[in-house]
Chains A and B, each alone.
Chain A
Amino acid sequence: ELKVEQNPLFLSMQEGKNYTIYCNYSTTSDRLYWYRQDPGKSLESLFVLLSNGAVKQEGRLMASLDTKARLSTLHITAAVHDLSATYFCAVDRIFGNEKLTFGTGTRLTIIP
């Protein structure tokens, strides 16, 4: 069974600092996704990573994928308060029983 782990689970950081959220998964996967969820809100897609070495950037967020290490990272550069949210990674496979398996989520709080 595919397992997806994120760390840290909780992250409190000051504005202007850099940090990285890690997403490890247990078996070979074809696709990896990052989602953002604000309190009481829906999940918003941030990045879709489809191949080994894929790197995508949007504003202060950058996501990368290493399929050999079964690891994805979400890097936050010069954090701002608006980035406070819960971030989820999710993994699935193209062939077989397709379903997204979500990580535990990382609750990020940016302190002014």
Chain B
Amino acid sequence: DTAVSQTPKYLVTQMGNDKSIKCEQNLGHDTMYWYKQDSKKFLKIMFSYNNKELIINETVPNRFSPKSPDKAHLNLHINSLELGDSAVYFCASSQLARGQKNTGELFFGEGSRLTVL
């Protein structure tokens, strides 16, 4: 079984369209993340949810809206897509450390490559 799974793996769309990426984890983790990896391979966090509650919201255009229906799922909806949104979007999950013995290690999905034309 895949621990963190994302769909779709590839997404090609026109500017101005709206698209969604879905993520599910079966690791029993309480925290999920969206990271963006640009063409230079730089990884930057976008959002994080802990038990369905938004805990990290980086400086991301409000065209990006995450939703977590339960702690095993975190979806990303993008409105009015722009050329600069082209990237690989990674979902990840972890068990939040918060001073406990958990390592806080992130487990990543396979990534969703978004190409905006």
Q: How large is the interface on A (under 10, 10 to 19, 20 to 34, 35 or more residues)?
A: 20 to 34
- A25 interface contact, C-beta 8 A: no
The CA-CA distance from A102 to B36 in the complex, in Å, is 11
Contact present for B90 and A99 (CB under 8 Å): no
A-side interface mostly: strand
Contact present for B104 and A42 (CB under 8 Å): no
Contact present for A42 and B111 (CB under 8 Å): yes
B-side interface mostly: loop
The CA-CA distance from A42 to B112 in the complex, in Å, is 10
Residues of chain B contacted by A95 (CB below 8 angstroms): 98-99
Contact present for A42 and B90 (CB under 8 Å): yes
Residues of chain B having any CB pair with chain A under 8 Å:
33, 35, 41-45, 48, 55-56, 90, 96-99, 103-111
Binary flags per residue of A93-111, CB closer than 8 Å to B gives 1, else 0: 0110111111011010000
Contact present for B109 and A42 (CB under 8 Å): yes
Contact present for B103 and A94 (CB under 8 Å): no
The CA-CA distance from A43 to B55 in the complex, in Å, is 23
Residues of chain A contacted by B109 (CB below 8 angstroms): 42
Measured CB to CB, the closest approach of chain A to B115, in angstroms, equals 14
Residues of chain B contacted by A44 (CB below 8 angstroms): 108
Contact present for A94 and B110 (CB under 8 Å): no
Q: Which of B43, B56, B90, B105 contacts A45 (CB 8 A)?
A: B105
The CA-CA distance from A37 to B48 in the complex, in Å, is 21
Q: Which of A31, A37, A99, A107 contacts B56 (CB 8 A)?
A: A99
Listed A/B pairs (28) with beta-carbon separation below 8 Å: A31-B103, A33-B105, A41-B111, A42-B108, A43-B90, A43-B108, A45-B107, A48-B103, A86-B41, A88-B43, A90-B106, A94-B98, A95-B98, A97-B56, A98-B104, A99-B45, A99-B56, A100-B33, A100-B45, A100-B106, A101-B45, A102-B35, A102-B42, A102-B43, A104-B41, A105-B41, A105-B43, A107-B41
- A50 interface contact, C-beta 8 A: yes
